[in-house]
């Protein structure tokens, strides 16, 4: 299923944790250091981000207290690129992702864009171990806090509950065993304080204006999406959407290489038209709601709506951004991947779908 921007799911999961009342034990009482002292400590560690709002200030505290824990995590580990063990299959995970999509659609567009950009900046500055600086970490925490604060609490809790249902209970103890318990506990306590600040400082999302793409072109893309569906829906129905294959990392793609490709997708997402982005999110939500639970196949009309929505999104970004994403994922996708996928369907239907897609991209690009 195509990604909106990878930030949406990550932030939604984080948001679910922030607002959870049953996931955490009551926070212990701790003394609060003055903001000036916290800022000074950040500066002493090599960075002094300037946050004027309460969520930003709370993010500084969280970052200082949890950074030792962050540094103990093996960010190059393959475990972050695979589906967690358990009984939940692809369709169950898709339903959880649907809740994250809905949360993403509720987020303030400008704050979401800022969150994407600070993640991109952190990726560019990450070291060979995938570790980010304290300054970038504080910026990410603040950005996530703000976009979560711009969502209704009920929507955030829907995300938490959805992922709680598919994640096995063995995950937390396993991850805890890979770090120092004391540092993990300190991070946990700091996070409890942070989520309280986020929860008590809601942000009203700003209005989204009309699309930046002209109406005539949007109409042409919508018509072209119908043609694309006619030429590819048969092929789409032959794909095994219940396979775990789509939840596995690309062969040979290291965490660092994959992260660089994700960065290009983030940058593309940051330039997408906000209104069209929300419309695409809702098209995906509707499609997921009507999916065939046994096969994972979308209804034809929903498939067309998604094709149209994605085409309009692509039309709202500079072509150079789109090509950057294509090239970056091409570099980490070995030929065996496409060969294997091609062998799993009817060859003639795959070629027909490819030809239809080629015509569709020409309409989008014009």
| Whole-number Cα distances in Å, 222 to 48, 273, 289, 301, 353 | 48, 16, 21, 12, 17
* Residue 157 pLDDT grade (very low, low, confident, very high; cuts 50, 70, 90): very high
Q: Look at residue 275 and tell me whether its pLDDT is greater than 70.
A: yes
* Residue 95 pLDDT grade (very low, low, confident, very high; cuts 50, 70, 90): very high
CA atoms within 13 Å, Cβ hemisphere of 269: 28
What percentage of the chain carries pLDDT values higher than 70? 86
Q: Which of these, 345, 364, 284, 244, lies nearest to 100 by C-alpha position?
A: 284
Q: Look at residue 199 and tell me whether its pLDDT is greater than 90.
A: yes
DSSP state of 247: G
Cα dihedral sign, 93-94-100-103 = negative
Q: Look at residue 352 and tell me whether its pLDDT is greater than 70.
A: yes
Q: Which of these, 208, 206, 213, lies nearest to 309 by C-alpha position?
A: 213
* Residue 179 pLDDT grade (very low, low, confident, very high; cuts 50, 70, 90): very high
User: Which homologous superfamily does the CATH classification assign to the domain defined by 215-365?
Assistant: Peridinin-chlorophyll A binding (1.40.10.10)
User: Under a CB-based contact definition with an 8 Å cutoff, are residues 44 and 135 in contact?
Assistant: no
Q: Which two tokens stand for residue 5?
A: 């921007």
Taking the CA atoms of the chain, what radius of gyration do you get in angstroms? Answer: 21
State residue 79's pLDDT score: 86
The whole-angstrom separation of Cα 193 and Cα 300 is 47
Helix (H, G, I), strand (E, B) or coil at 135: helix
DSSP state of 354: H
* Residue 25 pLDDT grade (very low, low, confident, very high; cuts 50, 70, 90): very low
The whole-angstrom separation of Cα 107 and Cα 202 is 11
pTM, two decimal places: 0.83
Mean pLDDT of 149-166: 96
Cα torsion for 187, 189, 192, 198, to the nearest 10°?
A: -60
* Residue 341 pLDDT grade (very low, low, confident, very high; cuts 50, 70, 90): very high
CA atoms within 13 Å, Cβ hemisphere of 181: 3
Helix (H, G, I), strand (E, B) or coil at 119: helix
State residue 5's pLDDT score: 36
Q: Look at residue 241 and tell me whether its pLDDT is greater than 70.
A: yes
Could you tell me where in the chain the CATH 1.40.10.10 domains are found?
Answer: 6-199, 215-365
Domain 6-199: assigned CATH number:
1.40.10.10
State residue 45's pLDDT score: 39
* Residue 82 pLDDT grade (very low, low, confident, very high; cuts 50, 70, 90): confident
Q: At what angle do helices 181-199 and 54-72 cross, to 10 degrees?
A: 160
Asked which of 18-32, 54-68, 78-92, 196-210 is least confident by mean pLDDT, the reply is 18-32
φ/ψ of 84, rounded to 5, equals -60, 150
């Amino acid at each position: 299923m195509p990604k909106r921007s990878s930030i949406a799911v990550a932030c939604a999961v984080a948001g679910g944790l922030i607002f959870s009342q049953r996931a955490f034990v009551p926070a212990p009482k701790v003394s609060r250091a003055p903001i000036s002292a916290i800022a000074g400590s950040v500066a002493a560690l090599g960075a002094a981000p300037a946050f004027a709002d309460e969520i930003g200030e709370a993010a500084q505290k969280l970052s200082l207290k949890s950074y030792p824990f962050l540094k103990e995590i093996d960010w190059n580990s393959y475990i972050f690129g695979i589906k967690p063990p358990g009984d939940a299959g692809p369709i169950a995970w898709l339903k959880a992702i649907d809740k994250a999509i809905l949360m993403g659609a509720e987020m303030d567009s400008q704050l979401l864009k800022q969150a994407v950009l600070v993640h991109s900046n952190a990726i560019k500055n990450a070291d060979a171990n995938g570790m980010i600086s304290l300054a970038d970490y504080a910026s990410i925490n603040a950005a996530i806090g703000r976009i979560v604060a711009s969502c209704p609490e009920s929507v955030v809790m829907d995300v938490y509950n959805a992922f709680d249902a598919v994640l096995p209970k063995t995950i937390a103890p396993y991850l805890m065993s890979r770090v120092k318990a004391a540092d993990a506990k300190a991070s946990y306590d700091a996070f409890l304080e942070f989520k309280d600040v986020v929860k008590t400082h809601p942000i009203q999302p700003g209005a989204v204006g009309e699309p930046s793409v002209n109406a005539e072109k949007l109409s042409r893309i919508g018509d072209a999406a119908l043609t694309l569906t006619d030429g590819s829906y048969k092929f789409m129905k032959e794909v095994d959407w219940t396979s775990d294959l789509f939840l596995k990392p690309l062969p040979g793609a290291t965490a660092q290489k994959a992260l660089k490709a994700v960065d290009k997708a983030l940058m593309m997402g940051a330039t997408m038209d906000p209104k069209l982005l929300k419309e695409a999110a809702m098209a995906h939500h509707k499609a997921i709601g009507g999916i065939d639970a046994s096969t994972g196949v979308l209804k034809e009309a929903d498939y067309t709506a998604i094709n149209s929505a994605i085409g309009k999104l692509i039309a709202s970004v500079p072509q150079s951004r789109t090509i950057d994403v294509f090239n970056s994922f091409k570099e980490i996708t070995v030929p065996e991947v496409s060969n294997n996928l091609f062998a799993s369907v009817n060859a003639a239907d795959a070629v027909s779908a490819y030809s239809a897609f080629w015509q569709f991209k020409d309409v989008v690009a014009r």
